[in-house]
Chains A and B, each alone.
Chain A
């Protein structure tokens, strides 16, 4: 090997070492942000960009609201620089986990006065503490997309507070995200105006904020998409449909084909509105919500054309 080759090799080695050191340093200084649900993770990732390391350590198949983490999974949250909480009693595990308080960001703290209560909770009493019940607040706040925009703004504020140097970048991305969320909110408002004419049926009691924000009144059941409803459940559905005149049922995910067919036979249209609480298999929060909104718009149009709902729009 000639002297020139040696020099080139040494220069390359030095360059690689420097690059490695820079990358390691950048990784050390990058803020890690962990969220308790996918919408918040998406907000952190979108607003934080390359400046943050957004982590979402939850398994894909579970509902983050009812996740029971193992200590090693809690440790990921303990090590993070920021922990994004949804608030409103969401992710019950955070109530019994040891998390660093100064790193917690309750993204819905700004609208605590607008939380919704869940009715029909059975209270219990024993000892001197008196009556009490558990988890009485509805928590899928982001289904009101204007509240989702507020939560995104809370994420931006937390990022800017901990990393003011990149504040402008965060603000720019946050503004863009807010606009996208509010655009979807506007479309939901329009669809809501149509659907407000006829009550709908919800497969699960998770749509409280959507009901309030878009005036889509309805009755919530406890139907699982992957399970066939039993006779009692069908009877209850028919009773609701008859008394309220509901012609639309909103599901968290696609129901079984047999269930769908039977609903069609009853004259009930099926719409999937995925709450997007966990990471989707494809796409992201915005594309998922866009799909949700489009489904509702199409359902609204369909019902409107049949004269089954409001015709103000």
Chain B
């Protein structure tokens, strides 16, 4: 048997192009459905775990999927915003602890998640380096953001303007990085976190400027009376918040009206959850949904697509198998003279069969080994791959 394997091995090495083509075909046919299954399993695990960890999500009426994808996976699609008034209303209801989210802005390709410190407690996120944001204008990084951007506590990050051509728009905010989160193997690794108020400053709802009542520069004043001072566009607005100008920052309007993309609600118990959902069933403005139900719906669609893909892969697999049979049949014809020589040397027909079987076995074994390696690599990087695909 060893002799047959050796001769088969030498034959395969003598015809590298043919051997490699056979190995590639079998590897791909074996690997494709396997990798698809692995990725779907990871996607399901990732989507479900994140959604299960988020009992309720409150937001504006509209697309439930947009709301969930933006709030849980920091998707670019901003759902219709709600106001801080919803948080106060949920607090007054006393049935759940609301954690506001404002996922709208980006910095160097990563989402800026405006939230309160409660978010870190509920998600179980802990600081790996530095500290939590303490003051306006500070941010902390998810572990992947820190690695990819090469940033650490003490560095700075500038928010990306929403519209580069809006020259009269809001200045980008230079945020101070004060900490890096420990890896959580979730979307939180790929996000930048700041206090809600910092995101409102990025939006221009809060700003800092020189004290108009005390300024001695007449060129910034358009009009001044006992009760009002009107400034012109020359008024210097701060683009970075530091200890010297922190007190100059202020917000306009009622905080109740400030925008949010969603509110995560952590109910006290199942009963509170049911009551809370019941209260918002007929609301014209708001919806409260269970993210896991939305994700289940999404996964159902994915699995339906997967069934179609499975059928396609099965047909392709069968076609490949037939092609392989054809290749081996043709190779027997091509090797007619070689086989005659083997017979003349005194070998039986069975020896020839053994040689062919050994070739097939080697090709299949190498293909399976390669497929296994690729599947291993897929498993290793599936979470990163899925998070990149979801984001």
Residues of chain A touching chain B, judged by Cβ–Cβ distance below 8 Å, are 68, 71, 74-75, 78, 92, 95-102, 122-126, 129-132, 134
Contact = CB atoms under 8 A, between A and B. Distances in A.
Contacts of B229: 122-125
Interface stretch (B131-139, B294-302, B322-330, B381-389): B131-139
Contacts of A100: 116-118, 121
B235 interface: yes
Interface in B187-216: 195, 197, 209, 212-213
Given A122-B229, A124-B212, A126-B231, 13 more contacts: A68-B247, A71-B134, A71-B138, A97-B136, A100-B116, A101-B99, A102-B116, A122-B227, A123-B227, A123-B228, A126-B232, A132-B253, A134-B250
B25 interface: no
A129 B133 CA distance: 28
A101 B116 contact: yes
Contacts of A92: 247
Secondary structure of the A contact surface, majority rule: mixed
B135 A98 contact: yes
Contacts of B97: 102
A75 B247 contact: no
Secondary structure of the B contact surface, majority rule: mixed
5 contacts: A98-B132, A101-B100, A101-B116, A122-B226, A131-B228
Interface string B287-327: 00000000000000000000000000000000000000000
B135 A125 contact: no
A194 B87 CA distance: 47
A124 B213 contact: yes
A61 to B, nearest CB: 19
Given A92-B247, A96-B246, A126-B235, A78 B230 contact: no
Nearest to B195: A98
B228 A125 contact: yes
Contact of A98 (B87, B134, B212): B134
B118 A101 contact: yes
B390 to A, nearest CB: 28
B228 A124 contact: yes
A74 B243 CA distance: 13
Contacts, number: 86
Nearest to A130: B252
A125 B135 CA distance: 26
Nearest to A126: B231
A250 B118 CA distance: 43
Interface of B: 87, 97-100, 116-118, 121, 131-136, 138, 178, 195, 197, 209, 212-213, 226-232, 235, 243, 246-247, 249-253
Contacts of B231: 124-126
A284 B235 CA distance: 47
A133 B321 CA distance: 78
B227 A129 contact: no
Contact of A102 (B118, B228, B249): B118
Contact of B230 (A95, A96, A124, A134): A124
Contacts of A75: 131-132, 134
Contacts of B138: 71, 98
B249 A96 contact: yes
Nearest to A135: B250
A96 B117 contact: no
Nearest to A92: B247
Contacts of A74: 134-135
Contacts of A122: 213, 226-229
A125 B133 contact: no
A132 B235 CA distance: 15
B222 to A, nearest CB: 9
A132 B121 CA distance: 36
Contacts of B195: 98
Contacts of A98: 116-117, 132-135, 138, 195, 197
A75 to B, nearest CB: 6
Contacts of A96: 135-136, 197, 246-247, 249
A124 B212 CA distance: 7
Nearest to A74: B134
Of the listed residues A71, A74, A99, A130, the one surrounded by the most CB atoms of chain B closer than 10 A to its CB is A71
B266 to A, nearest CB: 9
A68 B250 CA distance: 15
A216 B147 CA distance: 63
Contacts of A134: 250
A92 B250 CA distance: 10
B246 to A, nearest CB: 6
The 5 closest A-B pairs by CB, nearest first: A71-B134, A98-B195, A74-B134, A126-B231, A96-B136
A78 B246 CA distance: 19
A43 B179 CA distance: 35
A209 to B, nearest CB: 23
B223 to A, nearest CB: 9
Contacts of B131: 71, 75
Contacts of A132: 250, 252-253
Nearest to B133: A98
Contacts of B99: 101-102
A68 to B, nearest CB: 7
Nearest to A120: B227
B63 to A, nearest CB: 27
A130 B229 CA distance: 11
Contacts of B243: 68
A130 B197 CA distance: 20
A99 B117 contact: yes
A101 B98 CA distance: 9
B387 to A, nearest CB: 26
Contacts of B212: 124, 126
B245 to A, nearest CB: 11
Nearest to B215: A124
A131 B229 CA distance: 8
Nearest to B213: A122
B197 A71 contact: no
Nearest to A96: B136
A186 to B, nearest CB: 33
A71 B136 CA distance: 10
